[in-house]
Structure 1
């Protein structure tokens, strides 16, 4: 045990009286608080020191005990423990002694409203290490008052005897100061003062050295011998007893030559509305009030006192001469009941031990015998005002003054089982205001402390635990403890179920590893909600997939199921959308699609791209193979052949592969030889034009005898000429041979031929020849011999007849029915140029010759 109980002496700062000067110790298991006195009376304006010391065990459960907080508080109606230093009415007037285990309280500039019961409390670092010292110290603060102890009336003035006093007898000898009409009366230092007074005079007093705290001024009202004298202006009485308030009054025997008689006299209390109502007419005093009717005695007697009888009582009388007088300042009656005070308490495992005292705030004069009761039963042999005994938590105690057993003190007992209520009693929604209230039957009134299950420290003190805006995290089990001087009880648990909308949604996928097509997959959604949330699954922005308790199941997941999923959590209080969950389904390649570019006929020497693509996850790798070849030709999605040849023709297939599988597709490739294509492309336009003109020549040939196109010895052998010479017959006219064309038609076609070869010189030559033939032998038959230049060893033969051209030719034949035209066109080979007319004449060997019938001037530009 740390420290020892300290014996402290009373040191008054100002004027302080210790009415009950005994050491009071409360303690258990090393916890103790010692008050030097439990009742102190002090004068308004002075400073009081309330002596106190405390001790506590140095260790608990192996841990060093440390005092974390200590403070004084007053007995408030709501039972809260509020530190005096935090209260505005005590601001700058309260000090705590912080030396060691000294807990002395100092209050300066005392005011009458400072009257209260003061208690010391300290809290340590242990969850159960908190201690409140009971019964505390009762401080009564009172002011000085001027009491009129005697008053005599004369015709011209009155004589009064005054006394300066307070309800707290001031110890020792003190010097006083008297004031008349606010002015210091010199030479007056006693607590009594006698003088002649006039009706308008007022008097007050103060203790020398404390002139700032004088008594209230008293107006000595009285004239013509009218006056009231109270023996005491303050009386304290015990509930149930009878009190006598002594009083006397005087009045002149005659006034204005007439005998004075008192017509009415009565007592009244200071009511709020200021009315003077006779007590005998008030129902609450019925049968309990008596006035003494002897001579000028106005003593008031009130029986069966009740605490609500506490008030200021004044006497008033009215005479037949219009005399109307009220005795001031009146008498203050305080009615208090007996109380059992727990002066010491010790707690043991099975029971407790207490020292009790029967007392009241009004000191009773003389010696009295008391009666004690335990659980309502008289405890025989107990007549003292103190009683010590062991007791159990359910025991109760009371006391009474012998002879006044009908007015016992209230029973004191430990708290009964506390009850906890919740407001509102309906459903509790997050964000609302909620109040928990703890109540217990206890005397003295219990102090309440709130706890939450699994929380090591108290939540708050006081009968109510208030949540101004309750949160979901506040859900849980709550309980309270009710504690007074005789014990402590713990309430049952009260469950607070806070309802709230879903929050913090989370989504997960099982299995969490790679998801393979065809496997079983679960999507799970969870959310913090009360009541439990309902869940709806969505795939991206599609319609809802399923309402469930949180899971969405794929029995055999497919590649089409891949994508982003999210869930919606909702209950009647709201809804929330989760983050997206990506479901990546892995699968082997689907059947590849293959293509070739360019998509037209593939010619030797060109560049070709073979492309392969397949839907796969992870992405496929591609390999190209040629049929009947073991090794791959290429890898990658695109297989490029830059200089393709005929031997590249054949079947190719592409294989798409990833770690989930493989698939292949075949492509057939045909390569066309480059020589044939070049010849065909290059000769088709020339052959087409030549064939058109040959059709004219063949028509003329039918009417004339055949003419050898080439003579022996032209410069090339017959075999080569045969391979280079091609006769094409396009048209044969039967009957009247009306197929001869006009010279105009022939000239136009030859012009087109020449233009297509971009040879204007030949155009002019051919135009001249046509004109010449037209004039010399219009009706002669012409033969055409056409030679093609040999660029390659392979001959190319073409037999072409445009349908549209034939139609126009038939129309022209009808127009020129009687005209026969012949044309001979000769092309020389660059390699073996034949000997032609042009060579003999010195003309251009590449010139074209034709005989036409010219009918009009040719005006055509190539």
Structure 2
């Protein structure tokens, strides 16, 4: 059945399957349960109804499912000026039922008019009944559509069919006069289907003959996708980020995400129009591609970059070149830290900061022994900071000039013990060898060299040699001055001379003592009543060369002669015997006598005369 249409000549087709609701006395019949109409046209929706004879219809209305309660379309502002009812009663039988028809007319259809429409009767008994379910109206811009058939054996060809969009559900009505258009250019091919070679640049549509101005929506491959991210701006590690891919395509495209790996094809892919990171990690930084695909082709977006900002990860220190480090060479320390933006580096040696540019490797050129120590770096950016591991730089170098010390310090006496110590700054540690000047190695190894029971012959200059795998170095000379002792059996002529001097000193003291005693006795004599000493001083005893020492007998005779002397006090005379051509100092009890090989000490006889007894 054709319904009345708008001036444009468009026709709305009604489903002819009746819909019946109610009981024997009440009934609602919709000639069509689904209606498809073009935007801008006029549509009529009809309902045939029946109600009991005893009831009188007071109100009839049409309403939609857009509201919770039935609202008369004439009172609905969305339909103001576009809705009309055309209702009339057919017949009424006494003691039976009455029948009638009511049409809903909607002009200037809009896509928002798509809804389910229902008819309702209100009677004088206060009852109301609605025809359920109602009629579904679909308003569209086009009356034709292109259907893509499953691909044939060849994957490079595609077959399309042109369909009416307002056909009965499950039943197709085809137009035998269908024109096809590719990129808006009409093709020679006419008919229900169209087969063509796939090209992502093609846009294909169809239209009924004579209705070129009402073509179907075109089918086409996806356009180049665009990618957007939320939230915009700086992306910090730990935040949530969503990427969205959009592409115009018909049929609707399917989306695939992949991450670009430098020097490699895209890696693992993810399906869906959105790609989400909850939370985003530093490892998620990189470039992402979105691919949109449908049956007509594939397009890929430009790379979308994600730059995740984060604090430095644990820095590490590396040394170039690796291996042993020799003094005088060159060493570079690198501080590497994963950070975005790049971190500034601060260098430390033995926990003391070093002055160096913040983003340059630390260079030791040339390396010195003073550079030996533990190094580390500190990485920092505006999002945080972190310290590195520690690296020990062990600089190998030859021994520096050794220093020598002696224990005990001061005068070294013969017979004592002396220890020489040698020390030198070297890496690896040095081995030590001891030498005596003009005497070669003393065959002593080690840092210390001990000489026990030292003699004068062991005096002189000593030095040590410090040696390691890098080189060697000698110390300065250390002089040992050994002093001889009198008791030493090896004292020689020096010891004899010292003994002689001691004997002479003792003799002089004795002479002085006797002389002072004589002077005292002389002062006492007048006071005691004695006579003064008028005796002439005896001449000195004769001196004989090479006179042997006095015998016991001659000494006794001398004592007897002395007793017989007068009472005047007499004091000893000291006579010196000397060898030929040797001068003897006066007042000494002995003198050195030199022979061809030795020195001898000769003593003179000493006569002591006692004064006679003085009367009391």
- TM-score tier, shorter chain, comes to 0.5 to 0.7
**Which runs of 5 or more structure 2 residues have no equivalent in the other structure?**
1-16, 90-99, 496-505, 523-547, 553-568, 572-616
* 8 Å Cα contact 2:19-2:28 kept in structure 1: no
CA distance in structure 2 between the partners assigned to 1:353 and 1:374 by the alignment? 15
Match of 1:329 in 2: 132
1:420 Cα deviation after fit:
1.6
Are residues 1:673 and 2:472 paired?
no
Residues 366 and 509 (structure 1), Cα distance of their counterparts in 2 relative to 1, 3 Å cut: closer
* 8 Å Cα contact 1:507-1:579 kept in structure 2: yes
What is the aligned residue count? 477
- Aligned equivalent of 2:86, options 292, 301, 317: 292
Q: Deviations over 1:770-801 (max 9, x none)?
A: xxxxxxxxxxx9x9xxxxxxxxxxxxxxxxxx
1:359 Cα deviation after fit:
4.7
1:494 Cα deviation after fit:
1.9
1:305 Cα deviation after fit:
5.2
Give secondary structure in 2 for the equivalent of 1:502.
coil
Give secondary structure in 2 for the equivalent of 1:477.
strand
* 8 Å Cα contact 1:336-1:362 kept in structure 2: no
CA distance in structure 1 between the partners assigned to 2:204 and 2:179 by the alignment? 7
CA distance in structure 1 between the partners assigned to 2:358 and 2:54 by the alignment? 107
Residues 340 and 662 (structure 1), Cα distance of their counterparts in 2 relative to 1, 3 Å cut: same
- Which range moves more in the overlay, 399-408 or 340-349? 399-408
1:343 Cα deviation after fit:
0.7
Are residues 1:231 and 2:37 paired?
no
Q: Deviations over 1:671-727 (max 9, x none)?
A: 2334448999xxxxxxxxx9xxx9xx9999477449xxxxxxxxxx97999xxxxxx
Match of 1:465 in 2: 275
CA distance in structure 1 between the partners assigned to 2:550 and 2:129 by the alignment? 173
Are residues 1:148 and 2:20 paired?
yes
Match of 2:315 in 1: 505
* 8 Å Cα contact 1:586-1:617 kept in structure 2: yes
- Aligned equivalent of 2:115, options 311, 321, 330: 311
Give secondary structure in 2 for the equivalent of 1:314.
strand
CA distance in structure 2 between the partners assigned to 1:428 and 1:632 by the alignment? 77
Match of 1:174 in 2: none
Are residues 1:417 and 2:224 paired?
yes
Are residues 1:393 and 2:200 paired?
yes
1:611 Cα deviation after fit:
1.0
Match of 1:823 in 2: none
Residues 323 and 564 (structure 1), Cα distance of their counterparts in 2 relative to 1, 3 Å cut: closer
1:669 Cα deviation after fit:
1.0
CA distance in structure 2 between the partners assigned to 1:698 and 1:346 by the alignment? 157
Match of 2:61 in 1: 266
Match of 1:450 in 2: 257
Give secondary structure in 2 for the equivalent of 1:280.
helix
Q: Deviations over 1:115-149 (max 9, x none)?
A: xxxxxxxxxxxxxxxxxxxxxxxxxxxxxx99536
Are residues 1:345 and 2:151 paired?
yes
CA distance in structure 2 between the partners assigned to 1:473 and 1:510 by the alignment? 28
* 8 Å Cα contact 2:179-2:208 kept in structure 1: no
* 8 Å Cα contact 2:337-2:379 kept in structure 1: yes
Match of 2:452 in 1: 642
CA distance in structure 2 between the partners assigned to 1:653 and 1:335 by the alignment? 116
Give secondary structure in 2 for the equivalent of 1:503.
coil
Q: Deviations over 1:377-416 (max 9, x none)?
A: 4747777543333453222233456788776543221111
CA distance in structure 2 between the partners assigned to 1:365 and 1:599 by the alignment? 125
1:483 Cα deviation after fit:
0.8
Are residues 1:479 and 2:289 paired?
yes
Give secondary structure in 2 for the equivalent of 1:417.
coil
Give secondary structure in 2 for the equivalent of 1:473.
helix
Are residues 1:566 and 2:566 paired?
no
CA distance in structure 1 between the partners assigned to 2:335 and 2:45 by the alignment? 84
CA distance in structure 2 between the partners assigned to 1:719 and 1:279 by the alignment? 177
Match of 1:623 in 2: 433
Match of 1:594 in 2: 404
Residues 474 and 455 (structure 1), Cα distance of their counterparts in 2 relative to 1, 3 Å cut: farther
* 8 Å Cα contact 1:239-1:304 kept in structure 2: no
CA distance in structure 2 between the partners assigned to 1:473 and 1:347 by the alignment? 44
Residues 653 and 407 (structure 1), Cα distance of their counterparts in 2 relative to 1, 3 Å cut: same
Give secondary structure in 1 for the equivalent of 2:322.
coil
1:448 Cα deviation after fit:
0.3
Q: Deviations over 1:176-223 (max 9, x none)?
A: xxxxxxxxxxxxxxxxxxxxxxxxxxxxxxxxxxxxxxxxxxxxxx6x
Match of 1:358 in 2: 163
Q: Deviations over 1:631-672 (max 9, x none)?
A: 444222111112322211111122223323313221111223
Residues 452 and 346 (structure 1), Cα distance of their counterparts in 2 relative to 1, 3 Å cut: farther
CA distance in structure 2 between the partners assigned to 1:317 and 1:403 by the alignment? 44
Match of 1:428 in 2: 235
- RMSD, matched Cα: 4.1
TM-score of the pair, normalised by structure 2: 0.67
Q: Deviations over 1:467-525 (max 9, x none)?
A: 21223332222211101122211112222223332334232334434333333433332
Match of 1:277 in 2: 71
Give secondary structure in 1 for the equivalent of 2:338.
strand
Q: Deviations over 1:422-449 (max 9, x none)?
A: 2233222333222222110011110001
CA distance in structure 2 between the partners assigned to 1:558 and 1:672 by the alignment? 45
Residues 370 and 281 (structure 1), Cα distance of their counterparts in 2 relative to 1, 3 Å cut: farther
* 8 Å Cα contact 1:653-1:667 kept in structure 2: yes
* 8 Å Cα contact 2:148-2:158 kept in structure 1: no
* 8 Å Cα contact 1:268-1:313 kept in structure 2: yes
Match of 2:11 in 1: none
Match of 1:537 in 2: 347
Give secondary structure in 2 for the equivalent of 1:606.
coil
Residues 719 and 583 (structure 1), Cα distance of their counterparts in 2 relative to 1, 3 Å cut: farther
Residues 517 and 629 (structure 1), Cα distance of their counterparts in 2 relative to 1, 3 Å cut: same
* 8 Å Cα contact 2:164-2:172 kept in structure 1: no
Q: Deviations over 1:610-642 (max 9, x none)?
A: 111111222222221112113444222111112
Match of 1:490 in 2: 300
1:234 Cα deviation after fit:
2.8
CA distance in structure 2 between the partners assigned to 1:367 and 1:607 by the alignment? 130
1:306 Cα deviation after fit:
5.2
CA distance in structure 2 between the partners assigned to 1:238 and 1:383 by the alignment? 25
Match of 2:421 in 1: 611
